[in-house]
């Protein structure tokens, strides 16, 4: 499937940062946020291991109801963990956090087009935007690891690959767009455990929406993800796809609100809650 996100401003390659550092796994979320506020960047997979990560998307206040309805109508790709008051820069997910500064890197869109990837979005906020924190599939990776399920992108020190699918989400007001999925290859002997463990965490996308041939989702080439890094499959690995919280970003691209700061793909908000708090059983 061709890339649909448009040109992105060039930024420095920040791959060697936090996730490649084993010490980052032991950081507290607060310590990680402090480092990000000071300018540290990089994908957050494996950082502050065991703590919840979330996608961030902020929209103008007059788009907030449309976004809330879009998420309510698509809970698999858009499980909402928190919605801020208009103009607020804080979240119940971490009382001391500032949503404008405490992510490693942001992506800013204007009228659907990416215009900047700063480490601080204070200059890009207008009026009193409303921010949505969406459950992130990084959160259930602890459960996969505990069940001895390989997590290939972590093994390969890469960001999880994400693909825009041919499945359209249910529209909500002015918002419309395709579902985005993340993909984690799983050896056949671990498939049942991978499905079972992730399905117990519906607040962070839960179980797969598809497994096997990517053509079932309208994806042509696993080697060309629409967001982030391709991951090498080991012989026999089965591609397993889960709904992804980048879906609202695809809706923003399609629907073109006047501005929408989000997290940069793979560089998430780190909350204080433990991952297991979102397990239903």
Distance CA(270)–CA(128), nearest Å, equals 23
Residue 188 is assigned to a structural domain of this protein: yes
Tell me: the pLDDT tens digits for 82-106? 999 999 999 999 989 999 999 999 9
CATH number at 152 reads: 3.30.2040.10
Owning domain of residue 222: 140-243
Highest mean pLDDT: which of 7-16, 28-37, 196-205? Answer: 28-37
142 versus 33: which is more confidently predicted? 33
- For residue 176, with 0-12 CB atoms within 10 Å meaning exposed, 13-18 middle and 19 or more buried, which class applies? middle
Residue 192 is assigned to a structural domain of this protein: yes
Residue 230 is assigned to a structural domain of this protein: yes
Q: How far is CA 133 from CA 56, 93, 101, 136, 200, in A?
A: 5, 9, 15, 9, 20
108 shares a domain with 170: no
Distance CA(143)–CA(22), nearest Å, equals 19
Residue 5 is assigned to a structural domain of this protein: no
Q: Taking a C-beta distance cutoff of 8 angstroms, is the pair 159, 265 a contact? A: yes
Residue 17 has pLDDT above 70, yes or no: no
144 shares a domain with 132: no
Question: Span 108-128, mean pLDDT?
Answer: 93
The three-class DSSP label of residue 155 is helix
Nearest to 130 by CA among 26, 33, 57: 57
In the chain, what percentage of residues exceed pLDDT 90? 62
Residue 7 is assigned to a structural domain of this protein: no
Calculate helix-pair angle for 64-73, 247-255, nearest 10 degrees.
130
Residue 231 is assigned to a structural domain of this protein: yes
Residue 124 has pLDDT above 60, yes or no: yes
What pLDDT is attached to residue 105?
A: 95
194 shares a domain with 163: yes
Tell me: the pLDDT tens digits for 197-231? 888 877 777 789 999 999 999 999 999 999 888 99
CATH number at 28 reads: 3.40.1640.10
What pLDDT is attached to residue 193?
A: 87
The three-class DSSP label of residue 183 is strand
Residue 158 is assigned to a structural domain of this protein: yes
Tell me: the pLDDT tens digits for 129-164? 999 999 887 767 777 887 888 888 888 888 889 999
Residue 93 is assigned to a structural domain of this protein: yes
Residue 18 has pLDDT above 70, yes or no: no
Residue 254 has pLDDT above 50, yes or no: yes
- What is the 3-state composition of the chain as percent helix, strand, coil, each rounded to the nearest 5? 30, 25, 50
DSSP 66: H
């Amino acid at each position: 499937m061709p890339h649909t996100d448009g040109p992105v401003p060039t930024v420095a390659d920040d791959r060697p940062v936090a996730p490649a550092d084993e010490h980052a796994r032991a950081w507290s979320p607060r310590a990680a946020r402090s480092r990000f506020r000071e300018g540290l960047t990089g994908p957050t997979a494996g950082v502050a291991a065991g703590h919840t990560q979330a996608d961030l998307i902020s929209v103008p206040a007059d788009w907030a109801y449309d976004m809330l309805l879009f998420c309510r109508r698509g809970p698999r790709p858009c499980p909402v963990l928190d919605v801020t008051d208009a103009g607020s820069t804080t979240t119940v997910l971490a009382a001391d956090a500032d949503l404008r500064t405490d992510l490693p890197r942001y992506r800013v869109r204007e009228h659907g087009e990416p215009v900047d990837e700063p480490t601080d979005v204070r200059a890009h906020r207008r009026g009193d935007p409303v921010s949505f924190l969406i459950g992130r599939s990084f959160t259930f990776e602890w459960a996969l690891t505990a069940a001895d399920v390989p997590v290939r992108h972590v093994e390969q020190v890469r960001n999880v690959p994400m693909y825009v699918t041919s499945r359209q989400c249910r529209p909500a007001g002015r918002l419309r767009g395709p579902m985005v999925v993340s993909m984690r290859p799983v050896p056949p002997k671990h498939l049942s455990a991978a499905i079972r463990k992730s399905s117990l965490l519906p607040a962070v996308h839960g179980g797969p929406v598809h497994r096997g041939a990517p053509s079932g989702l309208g994806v042509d080439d696993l080697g060309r993800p629409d967001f982030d890094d391709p991951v090498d499959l080991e012989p026999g690995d089965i591609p397993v796809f889960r709904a992804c919280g980048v879906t609202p970003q695809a809706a923003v691209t399609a629907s073109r609100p006047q501005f929408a700061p989000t997290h940069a793909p793979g560089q998430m908000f780190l909350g204080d809650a433990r991952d297991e708090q979102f397990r239903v059983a």
